[in-house]
A and B are shown apart, each in its own frame.
Chain A
Amino acid sequence: MGEIELRNVSLSFPNPKSPEPNVVYENFSIKIEKGSFTFLLGPSGCGKSTFLNIINGLLTPTSADAVLVDGQDIRRHPELTRRMGYVFQGPRLLPWKTLRENVEFGLKGLGVQPKERWPELIEKYFAMAGLSKFMDHYPSQVSGGMQQRAAIVRAWVNEPEILLMDEPFSHLDEITAAELRSELVSLWAREEERRTIVFVTHNISEAAQMASDVVVLTPTPSQICYRRTIDIPWPRTSTDDAVFEIEKELRHVFAERAGVRV
């Protein structure tokens, strides 16, 4: 599992300030390969997060020919969304639960079975995130970076085939963010059967450093204005010439096709 496809998806919201609805997508189609680390780039408000919410079943499009995960429409098979993990912009941890209990909340919700495996999964992914010592701390007792790590553990511990990430590092300081970026890439790259990650950002360097695929969206109604594969091996650093070239190219694309100068 892991291939995502949207066919002719349209979505609009009523606009309180005008009789014209706010159109986010009009006949939008996209295909995301299984096992790819796909970055969705675009100016603010172009419907990047909306895209994740549609795949996750949190939002139903106004109309769509298909919203497919591995060839099955999630509107008819909502159980498919249980095999996804979602990392939000902020950690969104329950403040009255310890980090471990927050992760258990995710396991319980997604119905990960058998329950006897939970402790092992929890230990494993907390260790990977370097949080083993802090499992029984409350979110308020650890730093913002550690909270976001715990949120990543909550998504990853379900061993989802698809991981949705909505600007997960944008609220963190640059050093913590850089650390988490390289950890995330190595976590993803080291697995034999790689998961599909859809990563939404407006940070171009982040995309150039991490992505296997980059998709650039226009302002609403969103369309794909550029798409490419990046086959530079990981780990990449921002000082890599090849990475820097990609970054430059993406900046050009942004300026010329998405209409945003960055």
Chain B
Amino acid sequence: MPADAPTLDQKPNADGGMTPASEGSGHGAREHRVPRWLRPWIPMGVLVVVWWVVTDLVLQKPRIYPTPQLVAGELGRILSGESPLGSTYAHAGATLARLLVAFLAAFVIGTVLGIVAGRVKSLFDFSNSLVWIGLAVPSVVWVFVFLVVFGIGDVVPVVALVVMLTTPVFLGSAEGAKAIDRELLEMAASYRADWRSRLRDLYLPAILPFMLANGRVAFALGIKVVIIAEVVGLPNGIGLLVKYWKDQLYMAPVVAWGVLLIVMGFVVDRWLFGYFEKRSLRRTGARVSVVSAE
């Protein structure tokens, strides 16, 4: 490069006093203009504005196409506990209890089976067809099948959820267990580690990142499936309320529940799984420095 040619690091710094981290690329400096925490909220804001314009100014049928204001009002009503079918908190509690029980069961079953299948190749091959059943059969089909088998009750959504959530957890854990370093396994064998120690000290920590990903996927899937199960045939739960309002052709509460579920999913994903992720990363020094460099 000739001596008088302008170089990138001679550019005036847009943020004034920004660290030289963005040296060598103009792109880097631009990224700092919007604070990181704000970034996910911008598309959300745009979406709400579009929603308001379309429903309030264009369609103007708030009963079927509810406006953001109407939905906000319904959110208030839900949070105050009021609904024509009894306390919203009781319904939400029933839904969450089903989700939690099924999620935990699926997580434990899927992880244990996944580790075994990941370590024993023939078992993994055998499980292939079952995995496809778990992945491909839609939730409504499971719910109908279990309704016939068990009748209306809490067993149906829980069993349907366990069947559906176990599959992704199983797959993730199996992949994680397959990827465990052979050299570490040999080391454990030469030091005669028993199965308990191998599980606790080697397998579980090794597949922890996979387990976190499994948890996230399974929980998000779980929210969707539990509502469908309740809509199809249960005497209570958020699904029942959603179905009630849909039958009244009054959509604002339906959307309001959707918003609440999004918020719940976000909170669980961000804070609960995020917390575990940070904790697990902190245990290995090198990765911490990568994280904190962000």
Chain A contacts to B: CB under 8 angstroms:
56, 58, 81-82, 86, 88, 90, 92, 94-97, 105-106, 108-111, 137-138, 140-141, 154
Contacts and interface: CB of A to CB of B under 8 A. Distances in A.
Interface of B: 183-184, 186-194, 197, 201-202, 205-206, 208, 283-287
Contacts of B283: 96, 138
A140 B285 contact: yes
Q: Which of A56, A95, A97, A137 has the most CB of B within 10 A?
A: A95
A53 to B, nearest CB: 8
A110 B186 CA distance: 14
Given A94-B201, A109-B194, A58 B184 contact: no
Contacts of B184: 92, 94
Contacts of A109: 188, 191-194, 197
Contacts of B187: 86, 88, 92
B201 A140 contact: no
Contact of A111 (B186, B192, B202, B286): B192
A123 B36 CA distance: 46
Contacts of B194: 109
B82 to A, nearest CB: 49
Contacts of A154: 191
B286 to A, nearest CB: 4
Nearest to A108: B197
A55 B190 CA distance: 11
Nearest to B196: A108
Nearest to B286: A140
Contact of A140 (B190, B191, B284): B284
Contacts of B284: 95-96, 138, 140
B193 A105 contact: yes
A110 B191 contact: yes
B192 A141 contact: no
9 contacts: A58-B189, A92-B184, A96-B206, A105-B188, A105-B191, A106-B191, A109-B192, A109-B194, A141-B285
A137 B285 CA distance: 8
Contacts of B189: 58
B105 to A, nearest CB: 26
Contacts of A105: 188, 191, 193, 197, 201
B183 A94 contact: no
A196 B287 CA distance: 39
A181 B284 CA distance: 29
B176 to A, nearest CB: 14
Nearest to A98: B283
A82 B188 CA distance: 12
A228 B286 CA distance: 46
Contacts of B188: 105, 109
A112 B201 CA distance: 18
B205 A96 contact: yes
Nearest to A97: B201
Task: From B187, B188, B205, B287, name the one whose CB has the most chain A CB atoms within 10 angstroms.
Answer: B187
Nearest to A96: B205
Nearest to A101: B201
